């Protein structure tokens, strides 16, 4: 190990050379508990030179980046396109294809799934608690809302609030259980709870209508598919805002700190238990909202819809979307919703047919009937995400996102080393 000469400004303005031992040298003369030596940082070193990334020692060019005129134009067009895609196309305005009333229901479902995905994201991404029974949270919200509107004859707005509250209560109860268990055992409890909810809770015929289902009429003024879509979008915006506030709040920052280094963070006096319960409560609220919207979207709900398959779908949506990445989770959830409804297959097949391939591409060329594309594609995407692209869709979208918000198009933005589900109490 050699010694490295370093130029330092001396006290009187001259530079002097000092022999600094290289990194990794063990200084025995400093005593038995001397630690290895790190190179000192000369005072006055500008921040950019602290970065060890660049090979040639030059700081990265981080002058403030301003897009050119053409860049502004490009960004504006894409923003407008996005706005059109979300706000106008599903309701058949300025739409090249005829989006019928049933098709817009698919779009509504995608929005509802997005809310559900954000709900699980709070649990799985922020608090690191794995929930394999998340469909029970949503289901309880759905049946609560349906019961309140159909049996108690109260307004939808009251029902959705009640569903959110009940969702939070249920989630906090499970959260209390989770405080006593480590992550994997809690996963088992949620699995058992999901089955219990589907068979027992949703099997109480007097409340849930049995196998024939429970009616849940649309709220007044939102009967049409188009207006219901906007209603769902409104709730999604609300949920996104709440999620944003959560991450910015003390609870959110505490959870982030806990994820980084649980022991250090808890030694700072962070009340782990209450923040976890907060995470559960928020997750429950979101799930309750999603449930209520689902109930009134379908207008009739059955307990058997909230089965283990849906639980796995939620996990898929969140993980493939990219944990802790709101945009990714929303896109991932929407994607899986479209996949479930068969819309994805239709879209792909129409594009492929337009390009000249055989129609019914999946069936004829791949031998995979349309209904099963989702069942096959889901796990493939999950395994890809886990092994190759841990940031999920969020990672893929991050460069575009950075660009859209006025920055550079950075290919490596959003890269994540692995899918981190860190139990914050570990």
Q: Hey, which residues between 379 and 418 contact other proteins (CB under 8 A)?
A: 379-380, 382-383, 386-387, 402, 405-408, 410, 413, 418
Alpha-carbon gap, residue 111 to 87, rounded angstroms: 12
**Binding of other proteins by 340 (CB under 8 A):** no
Question: Is residue 55 part of the contact set for other proteins (CB under 8 A)?
Answer: no
Nearer to other proteins among residue 92 and residue 396 (C-beta): 92
Name residues whose C-beta falls within 8 Å of residue 213's C-beta, 6 or more positions apart in sequence.
300, 301, 302
Nearer to other proteins, 163 or 201 (CB): 201
User: Does 72 help bind other proteins (rule: CB under 8 A)?
Assistant: yes
CB of 34 to other proteins, least distance (A): 28
**Residue 27 beta carbon to other proteins: minimum distance, rounded to whole angstroms:** 29
Which segment (68-76, 156-164, 275-283, 348-356) binds other proteins by CB under 8 A?
68-76
Interface with other proteins (CB under 8 A), residue total 102
Contact status: 7 vs other proteins (CB under 8 A): no
Q: How far apart are CA 186 and CA 175, in angstroms?
A: 9
Specify the stretch interacting with other proteins by CB under 8 A; choose among 252-260, 266-274, 346-354, 365-373. 365-373
The verdict on 10 binding other proteins (CB under 8 A) reads no
The residue range among 11-19, 30-38, 205-213, 259-267 that interacts with other proteins, by the rule CB under 8 A, is 205-213
Q: Considering beta carbons, is residue 122 or 285 the nearer one to other proteins?
A: 122
User: Binders of other proteins among 117-146, rule CB under 8 A?
Assistant: 128, 130, 132
Q: 101 with 298: CB under 8 angstroms? A: no
Instruction: For the CB of residue 74, give the shortest distance to other proteins in the complex, in Å.
Output: 11
Could you give the string, one character per residue 232-271, with x where binding to other proteins holds by CB under 8 A and - elsewhere? ----------------------------------------
Candidate list 12, 13, 66, 68; residue touching other proteins; CB under 8 A:
66
Is there binding between residue 64 and other proteins (CB under 8 A)? yes
Contacts of 62 (CB under 8 A, 6+ apart): 48
Write the binding mask 292 to 311 for other proteins: x where contact by CB under 8 A, - elsewhere.
Answer: ------xxxxx-xx-xxx--
360 is an interface residue for other proteins by CB under 8 A:
no
215 contacts other proteins (rule: CB under 8 A): yes
- Min dist CB 116 to other proteins, Å, is 16
Specify whether the CB–CB gap between 39 and 20 falls below 8 A: yes
Give yes or no for a contact between 363 and 348, defined as CB atoms under 8 angstroms apart: no
Q: Does residue 54 interact with other proteins by CB under 8 A?
A: no
Q: Which stretch binds other proteins (CB under 8 A): 26-34, 211-219, 261-269, 348-356?
A: 211-219
Q: By CB under 8 A, what part of segment 183-202 binds other proteins?
A: 183-185, 187-189, 191-193, 195-196, 198-200
Q: For residue 292, which of 138, 426, 187, 400 has the smallest C-alpha distance? A: 138
Q: Measured from the CB of residue 374, what is the shortest distance to other proteins in angstroms?
A: 8
Token pair in block for residue 238? 């609300």
Binding other proteins (rule: CB under 8 A), the pick from 62, 68, 268, 354 is 62
- Tell me phi and psi for residue 36, to 5 degrees: -70, 155
Joined tokens for residue 393: 């869709």
- Choices 77-85, 163-171, 278-286, 328-336; region in contact with other proteins by CB under 8 A: 77-85
Residue of the chain from 54, 211, 260, 415 that contacts other proteins (CB under 8 A): 211
60: Cα separation from own chain's centroid = 31
Of the candidates 210, 247, 348, 360, which one interacts with other proteins according to CB under 8 A? 210
Pick out residues in 79-118 that bind other proteins (CB under 8 A): 79-80, 83-84, 87-88, 91-94, 100-103, 105
Residue 377 CB, nearest approach to other proteins (Å): 8
């Amino acid at each position: 190990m050699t010694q490295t000469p370093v130029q330092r400004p001396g006290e009187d303005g001259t530079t002097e050379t000092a022999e600094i031992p290289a990194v990794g040298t063990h200084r025995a003369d400093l005593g038995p508990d001397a630690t290895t030596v790190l190179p000192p940082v000369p005072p006055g070193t500008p921040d950019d030179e602290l970065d060890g990334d660049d090979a040639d020692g030059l700081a990265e060019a981080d002058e403030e980046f301003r897009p050119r005129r053409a860049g502004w134009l490009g960004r504006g067009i894409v923003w407008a396109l996005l706005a059109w895609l979300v706000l106008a196309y599903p309701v058949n305005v300025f739409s090249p294809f005829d989006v019928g009333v049933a098709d817009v229901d698919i779009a509504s479902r995608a929005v509802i799934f997005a809310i559900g995905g954000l709900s699980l994201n709070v649990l799985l991404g922020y608090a690191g608690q794995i929930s394999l029974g998340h469909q029970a949270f949503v289901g309880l919200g759905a049946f609560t809302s349906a019961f309140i509107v159909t049996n108690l004859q109260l307004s939808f707005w009251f029902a959705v609030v009640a569903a959110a509250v009940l969702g939070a209560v249920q989630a906090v109860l499970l959260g209390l259980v989770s405080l006593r268990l480590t992550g994997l055992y809690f996963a088992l409890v949620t699995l058992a709870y999901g089955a219990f909810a589907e068979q027992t809770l949703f099997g109480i015929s007097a409340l849930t209508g049995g196998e024939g289902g429970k009616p849940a009429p649309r709220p007044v003024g939102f009967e049409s598919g188009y207006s219901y879509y906007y209603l769902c979008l409104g709730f999604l915006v609300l949920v996104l805002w709440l999620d944003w506030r959560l991450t910015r709040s003390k609870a959110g920052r505490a959870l982030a700190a806990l994820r980084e280094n649980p022991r250090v963070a808890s030694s700072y006096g962070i009340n782990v238990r209450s923040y976890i319960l907060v995470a559960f409560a928020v997750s429950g609220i979101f799930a309750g909202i999603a449930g209520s919207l689902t109930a009134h979207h379908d207008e009739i709900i059955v307990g058997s819809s909230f089965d283990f398959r849906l639980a796995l779908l939620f996990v898929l949506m969140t993980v493939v979307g990219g944990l802790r990445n709101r945009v990714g989770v929303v896109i991932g959830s929407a994607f899986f919703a479209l996949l479930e409804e068969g819309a994805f297959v239709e879209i792909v097949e129409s594009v492929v047919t337009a390009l000249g391939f055989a129609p019914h591409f999946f069936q004829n060329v791949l031998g995979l009937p349309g209904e099963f594309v989702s069942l096959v594609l889901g796990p493939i995407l999950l395994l890809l995400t886990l092994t190759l692209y841990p940031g999920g869709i969020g990672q893929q979208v991050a460069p575009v996102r950075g660009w859209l918000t006025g920055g550079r198009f950075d290919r490596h933005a959003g890269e994540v080393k692995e899918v981190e589900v860190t139990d914050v109490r570990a």
